[in-house]
Amino acid sequence: MNVRDSEHMIAELNAKEPYELTEELGDADLIIINTCSVREKPVSKLFSEIGVFNKYKKESAKIGVTGCTASHLGKEIIKRAPAVDFVLGARNISKITKVLEEKHAVEIDINHDDSSYAFGEYRTNPFKSMVNISMGCDKSCTYCIVPATRGDEVSIPSDLIVSEIAKAVKTGAKEVMLLGQNVNNYGKHFTANDEKLNFTGLLQKISKIEGLERIRFTSPHPLHMDDEFLEEFANNPKICKQIHVPLQSGSTSLLKAMRRGYSKEWFLNRCEKIRKLCPEATISTDIIVGFPGESEEDFEDTMDVLEKVRFEQLFSFKYSPRPHTAAAEFEEQIPNEIAGARLTKLQARHTEILDEVMDAQMGRVHKVYFDELKAGGKVSGRSDDGKLFFVEGSEELLGEIVPVKVTKVSRGALEGVVCN
Ligand code: 5AD
Ligand code: SF4
């Protein structure tokens, strides 16, 4: 989401006057720090980064802080770091050219509605595109700061989504990543029109775009994984067979305390359904350990779900208390050592599972979409099910979808040869 927000800001700036990205801090006229506030660590990093940028930047260069931390700290940022010229919340990025002209502007309105705003064109990678389908979140998970920083959920009109994707396809993208906090809740909160499309309908509409070959999306919510959606996922040939199903915890009572709206059984049932309808699909997840009140038994429930589903990819975090969240006030916060030990155990078991999954890939053939030149005469890309591939090759492979046979496996990536 933040990567796409950054692209939107670059596009808006460029539409006004030409900007160029630079790796040299001393060359920059504008430094934007686009922040995340989901966990505490990046927030503390922000202020040390501002200090470094301020020390080495050109005197005339401006510093802007944008994104979720900007939303929740607002003018506090300028108070703590007067070197900052403007603060722009996650929901306000269309105002980037406006705040540039004001001294110490702070725009953090979480009700600001950008849902029908057509941003300019800028993409980091011409072969892949990211397109927002909704903004904000209508849930209130008790650990999560996002509803406070990105505001209420709004679905973006489907015609705007289609025209964004069509533009990207015209300039070489065969793949789109649809973005939203809860993509499969699409269609519940249109503001400006009377559309009646849900996420399945949107996927069907997008599939008709000529030249678009691959559709990915992130993140769906397990609660909204109804049969209609899972059948569309399994049967629509343009939809990549990789799905993120964020578990958070395997314990039904903890899921309740997290206000996730589903039980362990519902989660397992949805994953079984995915495996049944689409055995080739990879399933990834997010897990939080050390949520307030998590007992050994609760944690064992999480381990049990890992064992049953065997997620190919796991993003796991120690619970981090956040401002504006209910769980930060819960009693029974878990000591850091216990949460740390649980995280280590979870990750160690996942690593074993991943090694088995990747070892089984040896000799298999995947269709890989190549999108990046790498050092040492290599090109990288992703298989339909989301695995990272490296093969020997050059520009002629970029933008192509070709069959590749796996010749070497490792935990993070596969190597292979093109087999025509
Ligand atoms: N502490 C730890 N992890 C969190 N996440 C969200 N809020 C917190 C928090 N307070 C994790 C969730 C979410 C992912 C993006 O970040 O697992 O799915
Ligand atoms: Fe946060 Fe829950 Fe909304 Fe996801 S669904 S953004 S975890 S509140």
For residue range 275-284, what is the model confidence (pLDDT) as tens digits?
A: 999 999 999 9
In a domain, 121, yes or no: no
Would you say 215 and 238 are in contact if contact means Cβ atoms under 8 Å apart? yes
- Token pair 């998590």 is at which residue? 294
The verdict on 371 and 327 lying in the same domain is no
pLDDT at 161: 97
**SS3 per-residue string spanning the chain:** CHHHHHHHHHHHHHHHCCCCCCCCHHHCCEEEEEECCCCCHHHHHHHHHHHHHHHHCCCCCEEEEEEHHHHHHCCHHHHHCCCCCEEEEHHHHHHHHHHHCCCCEEECCCCCCCCCCCCCCCCCCCCEEEEECEECCCCCCCCCCHHHHHCCCEECCHHHHHHHHHHHHHCCCCEEEEECCCHHHCCCCECCCCCCCCHHHHHHHHHCCCCCCEEEEECCCHHHCCHHHHHHHHHCCCECCEEECCCECCCHHHHHHHCCCCCHHHHHHHHHHHHHHCCCCEEEEEEEECCCCCCHHHHHHHHHHHHHHCCCEEEEEECCCCCCCCHHHCCCCCCHHHHHHHHHHHHHHHHHHHHHHHHCCCCCEEEEEEEEEECCCEEEEEECCCCEEEEECCHHHCCCEEEEEEEEECCCCEEEEECC
Would you say 393 and 412 are in contact if contact means Cβ atoms under 8 Å apart? no
pLDDT at 43: 81
In this predicted structure, the answer to whether residue 420 has a pLDDT above a threshold of 80 is no
- Indicate which CATH number applies to the domain containing 268: 3.80.30.20
pLDDT in tens, 300-309: 999 999 999 9
Q: Which atom of ligand 1 is nearest to the CA of 321?
A: 10
Distance in angstroms (rounded) separating the CA atoms of residues 325 and 149: 11
Distance 244 CA to ligand 1 centre (A): 14
The verdict on 70 and 92 lying in the same domain is yes
Dihedral angle sign, alpha carbons of residues 146, 150, 152, 157: negative
Q: Which atom of ligand 2 is nearest to the CA of 147?
A: 8
- Indicate which CATH number applies to the domain containing 403: 2.40.50.140
Q: Which residues line ligand 2 (CB under 6 A)?
A: 137, 139, 141, 144, 146-147, 181-182, 221
In this predicted structure, the answer to whether residue 415 has a pLDDT above a threshold of 80 is yes
Query: Whose C-alpha lies nearest to ligand 1, atom 16?
Result: 38
Query: Whose C-alpha lies nearest to ligand 2, atom 5?
Result: 139
First to last CA, the chain: 36
Q: Which of 139, 254, 286 to mutate to test the pocket of ligand 2 (most atoms within 8 A of CB)?
A: 139
Q: Which atom of ligand 1 is nearest to the CA of 287?
A: 17
In a domain, 119, yes or no: no
Among 70, 9, 62, residue whose Cα is nearest residue 43: 70
pLDDT in tens, 68-113: 999 999 999 999 999 999 999 999 999 999 999 998 999 999 999 8
Ligand that lies nearest to the alpha carbon of residue 287, given by its number in the listed order: 1
pLDDT at 326: 97
In a domain, 115, yes or no: no
Distance 147 CA to ligand 2 centre (A): 7
Distance in angstroms (rounded) separating the CA atoms of residues 168 and 153: 25
Distance in angstroms (rounded) separating the CA atoms of residues 342 and 57: 42
Residues 6 or more apart from 57 whose CB is under 8 A from it?
A: 25, 26, 28, 31, 63
pLDDT at 389: 98
Would you say 72 and 43 are in contact if contact means Cβ atoms under 8 Å apart? no
The verdict on 146 and 282 lying in the same domain is yes
CA distances from 280 to 276, 312, 358 (A): 9, 12, 14
In a domain, 76, yes or no: yes
Residue 281: count of CB within 10 angstroms of its CB: 21
Domain end position, chosen among 312, 334, 359: 359
Would you say 64 and 99 are in contact if contact means Cβ atoms under 8 Å apart? yes
Q: Which atom of ligand 2 is nearest to the CA of 140?
A: 8
- Indicate which CATH number applies to the domain containing 75: 3.40.50.12160
Query: Whose C-alpha lies nearest to ligand 1, atom 5?
Result: 38
Among 82, 93, 79, residue whose Cα is nearest residue 34: 93
Note the residue count of the chain: 420
The verdict on 91 and 150 lying in the same domain is no
Distance 139 CA to ligand 2 centre (A): 6
- Provide the residue range defining the domain that includes 69: 2-107
In a domain, 113, yes or no: no
In this predicted structure, the answer to whether residue 261 has a pLDDT above a threshold of 90 is yes
* Mean pLDDT value of segment 25-44: 92
pLDDT at 253: 98
The verdict on 22 and 148 lying in the same domain is no
For the chain, percent of residues with pLDDT exceeding 70: 100
Would you say 183 and 133 are in contact if contact means Cβ atoms under 8 Å apart? yes
Distance 136 CA to ligand 2 centre (A): 9
The verdict on 312 and 387 lying in the same domain is no
Query: Whose C-alpha lies nearest to ligand 2, atom 4?
Result: 181
Q: Which residues line ligand 1 (CB under 6 A)?
A: 38-39, 143-144, 246, 248, 286, 288, 317, 319-320, 322
Distance 67 CA to ligand 1 centre (A): 16
In a domain, 322, yes or no: yes
pTM of the model: 0.96
Among 127, 368, 346, residue whose Cα is nearest residue 250: 346
Number of structural domains (the chain) is 3
The verdict on 329 and 369 lying in the same domain is no
pLDDT at 192: 72
CA distances from 308 to 227, 234, 249, 353 (A): 20, 20, 14, 11
Average per-residue pLDDT in the chain?
Answer: 96
The verdict on 355 and 206 lying in the same domain is yes
Distance 258 CA to ligand 1 centre (A): 11
